[in-house]
Amino acid sequence: MAGTTGIVLINLGSPASPSVRDVRTYLAEFLSDPFVIDLPAAMRWLLLHGIILRFRPKKSAHAYQSIWTDRGSPLVFHTADLADAVQRRFGKEAVVRYAMRYGSPSVRSVCESLRKEGISRIHFVPLYPQFAGATTATVMGDVFQAVMSDAWRPLFPSIEPPFYDAEGFVELWASRVKRLSRDTHVLFSFHGLPVRQIHRSGDSRCMQEGCCEREAPTHCYRAQCMHSARAVAVAAGLDKENWSVAFQSRLGRDEWLSPSTEDRIRVLAAQNLSLAIVPLSFVADCLETLEELAIRGEEVYREGGGNGEFRLVPSLNADEDWADFLYKKLNKRLKEAE
């Protein structure tokens, strides 16, 4: 296979099983990452081992158990299926694999497998539409730790940039939103981040009133989220009053991006609006979509007085149009690199 390009699709990861032990192991790896909990090392260790790992694994294990399937973790098997679908489109032109930032298969193990196949040119694809330190940046660090060793030289790695504004990506979601009833309120939900991480984007305009509503999101995560939501809403023909944006998955007591998805669901429930949640920062259904949004989200909606239809719009997973988009985008990228 010398001369063949490798493509590695990278997603977040999952525990090996929904047992408390495996969830604790996964959380220990995930939350030890300084890109995720960006505190001084000693404070991060105390928070993780003194509080989080003492109480959170049991609760998280219960959540994972509610979404686990005969095939295991939805995030993992959807990503594996996507890699297979993209591989079918490339045929013998590229070798497509998948890896997880945390858990298995690791980036290092997949790189080693490709090395043994004689592949030295690898294009890495973080499956995060918007850029953030806790997602894309930590993947980049993991990639270069895995490949920058004597055994890998010469190696020619490259990394796919964020695709939050790609026309094809926007149309993928717009086509799904168009299937909804016109009287449904669409809530675009993104993974949240601590506000301090947004401030560190280096943009002096950051968090000023209206800054994220401008059409030049640069490298700010929140601005990229707002850009994605606006683009999908426009492409789907939504009226301004029929869609909104919120941020989910808050951890700890620090100030996070707002409004929170849970708070926004309560507001919409009080108005008794039918609600569809579109998880625009998740390309594969996972704990955050299937449990946090679909299960707990509906509980919040019903408890808040909502009597209308509540639904989660499924993520892209391994859908054919999503695999087509990735194939065309990556094939063009590889042709340009020749």
Q: Which residues are annotated as a binding site for Fe(2+)?
A: 191, 288
> Rounded to whole angstroms, how far apart are CA atoms 211 and 189?
19
- Binding residues are 191, 288
SS3 82: helix
**Inter-residue contact 268 to 298 (CB < 8 Å):** no
> Rounded to whole angstroms, how far apart are CA atoms 89 and 313?
26
In the block, which residue shows the tokens 């675009």?
Answer: 188
Query: What is the sign of the dihedral through the CA atoms of 100, 105, 109 and 112?
Result: negative
Q: Which of 325, 302, 26, 306 is nearest to 167 (CA)?
A: 325
> Rounded to whole angstroms, how far apart are CA atoms 53 and 334?
42
Query: What is the sign of the dihedral through the CA atoms of 24, 316, 330 and 98?
Result: positive
Angle, to 10 degrees, between the axis of helix 261-270 and the axis of helix 296-303?
40
- List, in order, residues 6 or more apart from 314 with CB less than 8 Å away: 176, 285
**Inter-residue contact 255 to 194 (CB < 8 Å):** yes
